[in-house]
Structure 1
Amino acid sequence: MTVLAAAVALIGSLFFALGAALQQFEAASKGEFSLRVLLRRPRWLVGGASITVGAALHLFALSLGPLTVVQPMGVASLLFALPIAAGLHGRRPAKAELAAACAVSIGLIALVMMVPAATEPPHLTGADGVAMLTGAALVALLCWGVASRVSPAPRTALLAIAAGVMYGATATLMRVLVEGTSWDVWLIAAIPLPALAALMLLQRAYAIGHFAVAFAALQVTDPLTAVTFGALLLGEPLPANGLAATAAALVAAAGTVALARTTPLTR
């Protein structure tokens, strides 16, 4: 079952990578940019459907095998996404891109392997939920404000980081809703708010053209945010070896910085 879980998670990563590459291709195309316009583009919608399939396969894999096996397979989506996105834009991924993507993947795999599993069902009070969403929104707004004052590659990273923070908040709410022993109606009402904000921020990041930067920054920020919220609000444990976890995060961050120096994916 463990081997099957790994295989399902790997296939899910492929679907997630394909969806992200398709959405970036449409977001970076010429013409008016808005979520309303993207929703009218069949290729962008197919990308969204592919991401949904990938997420569903990831959840199914978690029901078959342990998190320590499934999560590393999910990180492989970056390695799948780079060649797919490059092919859509009519070029091959450079060796420097692939090497940087490997650094991001290695750092993330090491990090997720060090996060201990939660021992109790998560519970989030309404006050803590408001504080979490407020904090995530403030970080996202700060990234948005700074992004307008920097060059394209850092702007892409900042917008993707903002999206990752909002997705991390969404994942925390989803965990409480799915795994918690009790939940309130406000959870269902609150989940679409950070999810929609994250979607819009990520499409803005994709539109700039540095797909690898956006995707890597998202993959690094999303789990880090979820782990932070889990520790602060849900009482979940942090990695026992803080030095090793920091080193893994720095490797992933260094890979993202290296990706920022590569050629942007634009038509």
Structure 2
Amino acid sequence: MGSLLWLALALAIAGAVLNGLGALWQNTAVRDNQTGKLVSIAALVHLLRNRRWLMGQLAVIIGSALHFGALAFAPVTVIQPIGVLGIAVTTVASAKLDRAQLSLGTWLSLAAIVLGVGGFTSLAASNAQVTRVSDETAVLIAMIVGLLLMLLGLIGSIGHGLVRCLAFAAGGGVVFGFASVVIRLAALSLEHGNPTDFPTGSLIGAILSIPVAVWFIQQAHASGPPDLVVAALTLADPIVAIGIGYVALGEGAKTSTVATLAEGVCFLIAAIGIVVLPRMRRKSTSKVSSNLQAQYSES
């Protein structure tokens, strides 16, 4: 791999770490003030005075900037899966905050995520190719993203508990996946010196959708634990970005059938780890709570 690709990978990994920590800080701040209910505009304004939430938001902003910066040097299919590592950071940090020991199931889930993401990234790095996207395709992508947001927003609004958490977190992931693709298109336009290919309309749409993503993610934090929020967000994010990258941008045009199947297996391994991880963490947390209650009763 070239030096620019190594730089892109380093930026993406640093961004994943900051995003994972930022999500944990935001989750604890939101759930301290509001749990299980839709977060109102007034509650969001109140969070602007919460130092922990602001620290988490700053970490997410810097982490996202590093992630988008990585897209200037490498394809979407290479960079986007690395964001999944944020869930590992959130899980370990959350366990330390709860003073809980990570179970064998938790470690196996984390290993599945890391190995799946690592395998997918290695395969994508050697196979991904990029072509330009037409204006019609860009409009179609924006429309699909908009419909997905409306659907997930509706599910989150009428749902409760984990359903609401998953729907709103996935909505945030859809926005960031779309934004990643747009940033990649803008970088390619500048790199190739083709100002006519610059995705001005899509870039404006992506910027305008970011406040929606922030609102969605805060709703998810109010309805579920941080690892579940990050799990849903980081699973929806690469699915959207990689799907667009492969189908619309042609990044998988020269990928062989065997390589595509191998990438699919790696992604499936990571997805299984993401789905199982929150369940393992909740078991560990419940065990710690039971032990603390037993110690309190004995004393």
Normalised TM-score (structure 1): 0.79
CA 1:249–1:69: 2 relative to 1, 3 Å: closer
Deviation at 1:226, TM superposition (A): 0.9
What's the secondary structure of 1:29's corresponding residue?
Answer: helix
CA contact (8 A) 1:21 1:47 kept: yes
Q: Does the CA contact (< 8 Å) of 1:103 and 1:251 recur in 2?
A: yes
Matched, 1:254 2:251: no
- Out of 190, 194, 198, the position equivalent to 2:209 is 194
Match of 1:204 among 219, 222, 246: 219
> 1:33 maps to which residue?
39
Paired residue for 2:128, among 78, 96, 117?
A: 117
Task: Quote the offset at 1:163 in angstroms.
Answer: 1.8
Which runs of 5 or more structure 2 residues have no equivalent in the other structure? Answer: 286-299
Distance across 2 between alignment mates of 1:226 and 1:66: 10
Q: Once the 2 structures are TM-superposed, how far is the Cα of residue 167 of structure 1 from its aligned partner?
A: 1.4
Match of 1:43 in 2: 52
Pair member with larger Rg: 2
Give me the whole-angstrom Cα distance separating, in 2, the residues matched to 1:105 and 1:237: 22
Aligned amino acid, residue 107 of structure 1: G
Q: Would the aligned equivalents of 2:78 and 2:121 in 1 still touch at CA under 8 Å?
A: no
TM-score by length of 2: 0.72
Structure 1: tracts of 5 or more residues without a match = none
Q: Deviation of residue 68 (structure 1)? A: 9.3
**Residues 3/139 of structure 1: CA separation in 2 closer, same or farther (3 Å cut):** closer
Matched to 1:17, the amino acid is: G
Label 1:12 to 1:174 Cα distance change in 2 as closer, same or farther (>3 A). closer
The alpha carbon displacement at 1:215 in A equals: 0.8
Cα RMSD of the aligned pairs, angstroms, is: 3.5
Q: Which residue number corresponds to residue 100 of structure 2?
A: 92
Q: Kindly indicate whether the alpha-carbon contact (under 8 Å) linking 1:104 and 1:252 is maintained by their aligned counterparts in 2.
A: yes
Please state if 1:225 is matched with 2:240.
yes
User: Equivalent pairs: percent with the same residue?
Assistant: 27
Structure 2 distance, partners of 1:152, 1:8, is: 34
Per the alignment, in what secondary structure is the counterpart of residue 40 of structure 1? coil
Match of 2:252, SS state, is: coil
- Taking the aligned partners of 2:246 and 2:72, their CA distance within structure 1 comes to 23
Any conservation in 1 of the 2:72–2:188 contact (CA below 8 Å)? Answer: no
Name the aligned partner's letter for residue 128 of structure 1: T
More helix by proportion, 1 or 2?
2
Tell me if structure 2 keeps the 8 A contact 1:160–1:214.
Answer: yes
Kept after mapping to 1: 8 A contact 2:117/2:270: yes
Rate the CA distance shift 1:249–1:18 in 2: closer, same or farther, 3 A: same
Q: CA, structure 1 residues 132+57, in 2 after alignment: closer, same or farther (shift >3 Å)? A: closer
Q: Partner of 1:23 in structure 2?
A: 26
Tell me how far apart the structure 1 counterparts of residues 183 and 74 of structure 2 sit (CA, whole Å). 20
The answer on whether the counterparts of 2:20 and 2:230 sit within 8 Å (CA) in structure 1 is no
Compared CA separation, residues 144 and 11, structure 1 to 2 (3 A)? closer
Does the C-alpha gap of structure 1 residues 136 and 10 become closer, same or farther in structure 2, counting only changes over 3 Å?
A: closer
Determine the C-alpha separation between the residues in 1 that align with 2:74 and 2:244. 24
The number of residues matched between the two structures is 263
